[in-house]
Each structure stands twice: as structure tokens, then as C-alpha cells.
Structure 1
Amino acid sequence: MKPIVATATAAVLLLSAPALAASDNPETATAAPTGDVAAGEEAFAKQCTACHVVKSDDGEVLAGKRGRTGPNLYGVMGGTVGTVEGFKFSKSMAEMADTDIVWTEENFVTYVQNPTDWLREKLDDKKARSKMSWRVRDPQEAADIYAFLHSIAPAKAE
């Protein structure tokens, strides 16, 4: 490899390392979402409400209706994966609760596009499985849904 190419390759790898490491960092979970909130609300209504609801701690339904197949998504953004109180997760998703992996935009977008593959990668377990069978096909829609959920999340205490 020529010295200039090797130097350029090393620079790209060094510059991308913080972004790659940030995907599971709780600090990045509070970063402003890149998606469109209004488009996310529409996509959530079409794709997510059959299984999920967003119900505040005081019982107000912010999105969805009676979805009980999946966990309540109120306040999960920035929280540790697999830790919605009172919800019975798959064995693999329950294992995620013992990790430091949080719902950052990157984790959420990747997860909703292929839940089982995401779990297999994060747990380093080729047998890991998710109960979530639906996939959000479009990465932009997934980012929009994240932005919507982020917009209706409770304010984090600082």
C-alpha cells in the first residue's frame, strides 16, 4: 500500500471511530434526532400501533390505541434496551437489560429494520431471537419514527 493511501485510510478509520463507538453511548441518546417528527407520527400510526402504544405515566395515550403485543414506548428513548417495566420480553431481549446498550437513534433505526439480526450482533449470539416480526423497511421512516417518539418522551432530569 502506498504511504499516502495508508495515511488516508488510517485517518478515515480514526475519524469514524468516535461515531461508531457512540452508537451505544448513553450520552448520544439525548442527541437531537435527525428524522422528521410529523412524518414519524404518520409512520408510527401506520406501522406500529397494531402492537405498540405510547402511554404516559399518568395514563394519557399519546399515540396508538390498545397495542399490547409490544411494550409501551413512552420514555424508552435513551433508556437501556429491554427494560420496560411489566413487559415480558423474549429471552434474548431480556438479556439486553444486562448490557449498557441504550436506545440511541442508531440502535433504534437498526433494530426496527431487522430486530433479530440486531440482537444477534449485539449479543454475539447467532441463536438470539426477537418477538418483533415487523420490519420498518425504509431507514428514513425508521429515523422519523424515532424522532416522533423522542418528541413525545418525558423530559429527562439533568
Structure 2
Amino acid sequence: MRSIVFFAALATASALVSHAQAQDAAAGEKVFAKCKACHVADEDKNKIGPSLHGLIGRTAGTHEGFKYSPAMVAAGTGGLVWDEAHLKDYLHDPKAKVPGTKMAFPGLKSDDDIANVIAYLKQFTP
């Protein structure tokens, strides 16, 4: 019985490590194609949406020169800072994470796509 529990724990740990290493910036760039109509990541330039250059570590609703929704500004004032955990939640369901956001995108459903987009965005955080 102990060996079954041990192997089950080992398999779970292995799956977690594999998932943690699943971030692939090149794959994320392909997924980011869905975002390019509104966002830029590789340069500090606002479009319909704010620039995502330097996003990791930024307080929500604070990129200079972009007019955010009151909801996004309030989220930032309330302490929302874009780290991997918050981005994962937001990219999965933007309107659930920040009710009242202007972003019309419904979200990404695949955890792998989200992890890969985050890896892509991390490349552009100084």
C-alpha cells in the first residue's frame, strides 16, 4: 500500500513540475496573436488597449497615457499588481477578475495557453 501512495505522490509531483516548466514563450507568441489587435508587448506603445511592455510587476490601471476603465483604476488602487497568479486569473476570465473592465476579450480557456502567453510577456519586462 505504501508503494502505491508513494508512486501516486511521485506522479503528482512530476505532473506539477512538468506543468511549471510548460511555459513556452514561442508558443505564447502564437497565442498572443489573438491580442495583437489591441495590445503591443515588444514596445511601449498604447493601441486600443494599453501597452503590455513591462506589464509584470505593474499596478493595474496605471500605464501612462492610457485611459482605463474606472473598474481597472479601482483594481489598481485596491492593490492589484500584475504578477503571474493575477495574470492567470485575468487571462482566464477578464470580467470575473475585474468586473467592469473595458476589455471585451472573453479570455483564454487553456491553462497551457495562459502559461505560454505569460512566458511571452515576461520577455518584455525589464
Structures share fold, TM-score greater than 0.5: yes
Scaled by the length of structure 1, the TM-score of the pair is 0.60
Tell me how far 1:34 sits from its aligned partner. Answer: 5.8
Kept after mapping to 2: 8 A contact 1:54/1:72: yes
- 2:93 is aligned, of 114, 118, 122, to 114
The letter of the residue matching 1:113 is H
Aligned pair count reads 106
The letter of the residue matching 2:26 is A
Match of 2:32 in 1: 44
Residues in 1 aligned to 2:57 and 2:109: alpha-carbon distance in whole angstroms? 23
Tell me how far 1:97 sits from its aligned partner. Answer: 2.4
Q: Secondary structure at the match of 2:77?
A: coil
Residues in 2 aligned to 1:91 and 1:101: alpha-carbon distance in whole angstroms? 14
Structure 1 residue runs of 5 or longer lacking an equivalent are: 1-31, 60-66, 120-127
Residues in 2 aligned to 1:101 and 1:33: alpha-carbon distance in whole angstroms? 26
Tell me how far 1:87 sits from its aligned partner. Answer: 0.6
Match of 2:101 in 1: 130
The letter of the residue matching 1:138 is S
Matches within 5 A, 1:138-153: 138-153=110-125
Scaled by the length of structure 2, the TM-score of the pair is 0.74
Residues in 2 aligned to 1:41 and 1:141: alpha-carbon distance in whole angstroms? 10
Tell me how far 1:55 sits from its aligned partner. Answer: 4.7
- Inter-CA distance 33–117: structure 2 relative to 1 (3 Å threshold): farther
- 2:55 is aligned, of 73, 76, 81, to 76
Deviation string for 1:6-61 (max 9, x for gaps)?
A: xxxxxxxxxxxxxxxxxxxxxxxxxx98621111111112x11011012535x7xx
Kept after mapping to 2: 8 A contact 1:33/1:147: no
Residues in 1 aligned to 2:56 and 2:26: alpha-carbon distance in whole angstroms? 17
Structure 2 residue runs of 5 or longer lacking an equivalent are: 1-19
